Amino acid sequence: MPIPSPKPTPEDAQRTILDHQREAFDKLVATGKACFAIDRLKLTLRPRTNTLIIGPSGSGKTYLAREVARELEVPLLHISISEWILMGCTDRGSTNTWPLIVKFLLGNKKVQGGVIFLDEIDKIGDKDGIDSSWNRHLRNEVYRLLDLQVPHGLSLNDEDDEDEPTLKRAEVILQNQTIILAAGAFQHLWERTTKPSLGFNGEVAPSIQTDLTHLVQTLPRELVNRFRSDLVILPQLVASDYWRMLEQAQSAVPKHFRATFMRLGLERIPNAVHCRKGCRFVEELLLDAIIEERRSLHLPDKNTKQEPREQKDNEPDNKPEVQYGDAQ
């Protein structure tokens, strides 16, 4: 189900952009600022703003999109392609995706703009060469979104019968106050790269030389051509990236866990590179650091019941004396 993120506030925690994400972050923020600074409806030609993010699993694509929205100070709608529910279909009471998109758009009419993030876009391709009816309908609905068009006759399940004017307002917001980011791992592109070195010195991060023509191996050309040619690529992480990730992440770790967090992290960097853990590496480390610290301090679990201590015969009873009557 799509997950709307609330508009950021100044009280939000300070964002952390990892080094390998910095170039992509700056490029996406610049794109967003350019789009929100102009009235696109007054232009004779409509600029192509749909941007595709490519990065291996764990490189932080979803986190990057959220931080871009925070930097632009606009709300974000996260939609996973694998959870998209077609119009006219229901899935155990879940809401169709397009009505949720329209409600998100209508909620942004008083703000600068909004970001729609299409996650796992690489999963929209045909599997095993079989083009099912579901896939065809899914692609058509996604094409409408990328073409900045709201489907006509869409039911919003509201008491207001005047859906068409409402849909038209949503379409204007989509065309003028919204940018669309999409992301996918496209794992076959990364499997062609050489294995990274485990050393810290002289290593070169494996990268991919790709453009939209390479993506037609996974995605229909009709879909690929709806994105800008300037792809945003997050690189595969190498050992030095994990080291810098540890340094940057330790400030967000509670002080009494930091030493253990850093020690475990340095020990596990070679395995993280080998297994291509990506940004999930620090999440695993934090839990393991907490577990190890609790074990070293012999802390009892919250739900552990302590056995009642036997009272010796000559030990005074510490229970308060209950007085009866009009005690002063």
Say what the pLDDT of residue 108 is: 78
Say what the pLDDT of residue 91 is: 54
Convert the pLDDT of each residue in 93-107 to its tens digit: 567 899 999 999 988
The residues pairing with 114 across neighbouring beta strands, listed in sequence order, are: 178
Say what the pLDDT of residue 95 is: 77
Average pLDDT over residues 232-252: 88
Would the pLDDT of 206 be above 70? no
Average pLDDT over residues 216-240: 85
Rounded Cα distance, 8 and 77, in Å? 13
Would the pLDDT of 312 be above 70? no
Mean pLDDT of the chain: 79
Range with lowest mean pLDDT among 56-60, 141-145, 312-316:
312-316
Convert the pLDDT of each residue in 119-131 to its tens digit: 999 888 655 555 6
